[in-house]
Structure 1
Amino acid sequence: MKFEEQKTMHGARRPFERLRGCTATLLAAAFVAGCASHVDSTSVQPTAGAQATATAPAAAAVLPSWRDGRAREAIIKFVDDVTREGSPSFLPPADRIAVFDNDGTLWSEQPLYFQFMFLLDQVKAAAPKHPEWRNDPAFRALAAHDQAALAGQQKALMKLIGIANSGMTVDEYDSTIRAWLATARHPKFHRPYTELVYQPQLELLAYLRANGFKTFIVSGGTIEFMRAFADRVYGIPPEQVIGSSQAVSYEMRDGKPALVRQPKLDFVDDGPGKPVGIYRQIGRKPVLAFGNSDGDQQMLEYTAAQPGPHLALIVHHDDAAREFAYDRQSKVGKLDHAWDEALAKGWIVVSMKDEWSTIYPRDAKQ
């Protein structure tokens, strides 16, 4: 999730203020698409391809959903160079760190960041406990899907989101996220959001891990949201998820210790915050970074600036038929300055349309 660039990064801003700048345009896109999700009893099954193989597969068999081309060749060559003993680019396993953005890089992000859809649904779900909201212009606009009215109620809406997504323990919130992921459906594809992960990226994650890499998510989304599915879907455990974080306090509830969510953020892991999050949590510079938007630019710069072997890649969403097509003018996942830098510095720009034979795991033929 990539929100607007932040001027401060550690608790100095008001609750959820980082979301406010993009609210109007994002909500408009969501409501036009009918973002209110529907519910059924189908449980989400583990995604095929999330598990890494025990041994490194032969080059001819790896990345089957990647078409032959510059990106696939660069990835395979890079992995071979850094893992082959005797190679001048050889890296010991401890230094094989790969970082991936989440929204738009590992799964889809249109017409609205999936976590933001969850946050809005939380406001609706909390409404019965807050009868005073009936007279709140922001809530009335949200309930009526009134885009024009919401455009003038961004601050008030952020307050509602903060209230609706705080006050519970972290365990209670985790259960809420998991329940939402199991029942919510994407407005265009009518599938669980966790099925809208990219099959080529699942293969890449498995390929890297099979070759001694440690894979991390580095996203503007919050850690609690991504940790609810990252291990099951991507094979990335909770301790390897780096993201924005909400303030949490230690309390005693019913005589038992509990961690309770507060209505404010204490770290924003987006844009220039991504290298900071990598430094804080990993303590090593990544040698491979994969993003898709301007929110990933600093993470890619940080990876590409080191003198040793490295690989920087960007997904270009240019496939309107199978997913979405957007880049420089998009309000969600904008790819503009990072694209220019990629072209200037030789980073790999991956065409979703030309270089991925399959988009989603269930789609055997596309």
Structure 2
Amino acid sequence: MERDILTTLAQIRHPFLIRLHHAFQSADQLFLVLDYHRGGDMATQLAKFHTFSPERCRLYAAEILLGLQELHSLGILYRDLKPENILLAADGHIVLTDFGLSRQFPSAENMDDKRTRTFCGTAEYLAPEILRSEPYTYAVDFWSLGTILYEMVEGTPPFYETAHAEMYRRIMEDDLEFTPAFDPITRDFIKGLLRKPSSQRLGTGPNGPTLIRSHPYFAGLDWSDVYHKRIRPEYVPQLRSETDLSNFDRDFLVMTPRLSPVSNPDIYSDAVQEVFQGYSYINDSSNFTYSLISGDDNDEDDDDDIIRLDGDRRRSVGIYSDDYSGSDIRPDDFHPGSRDDEGFSTVTPPHHHPYPQTLF
């Protein structure tokens, strides 16, 4: 499922969704070659700064929203939106990654009619309907967005408890509470995203995309500018090289790179191998190639060393849109603003006061 989702996304090359270059396999390993984004992830940024400014929160929320709406338009339910899965690119814009828990429905038609029941996700960002084991749909992703925006403003998720059982109870039963860190417009927006009845949640329903992007929280924002990354991010990572690792948590950097261990090669029967027919993929729009041949270059017969690319080779059709993809709001006519000499938007956000530092 993850491979199929990534190949779907590779064909559209959305600015806020990770891009797959290659998928291939050996006799007992599966490989995905993805973009490397040097800015680290949002979880590391929250650990470093604790909270973000109103302008930073708003731009991140807008970019995440466009990524989610693109996924939903393709019939993809994300299910694991969390700070660890929100990367920062070298230019400071966000990229959503990790679709290992995602579900792709056969068709994107009648989006709110597509439902599943699998209990999965990350504890702090689970929607009430998942915890109640009810059938759920794309509304769970908007709940996760509301939880993350709350965390960006306050420094902690809204219903957080160290004991998962108590946190789950709070998600399902407790009222949403706000500190003075939240201005009225931000409070109203988050309340809309964190409505416990999923049918009432902001972003859902036939007019959901229009209503959520028209919320006063995004007033003055040109959605075409957001999509084309013409709004200068407040934070841009300081990078020393193409392979700079300084923006990643040290816990990851000290880990030894290794392939997943193969406990018993005998389990990879012909029937198991058939499941992965068609797994291999080459993105024709990728601008790099590399050898899939391992072993001694002096071997007379390299056939045994080649990682084979058998099966269906689905290729990217190389779609590059000059307009905001799938927009039902005319971006250039909605809250138009001016731009500076470098082409960045100069629209002033509706929030001007600094948030007080949250103390624990």
Kindly name which structure, 1 or 2, has the bigger radius of gyration based on alpha carbons: 2
- TM-score after normalising by structure 2: 0.26
Q: Which has the higher helix share?
A: 1
Q: Which has the higher strand share?
A: 1
- TM-score after normalising by structure 1: 0.25
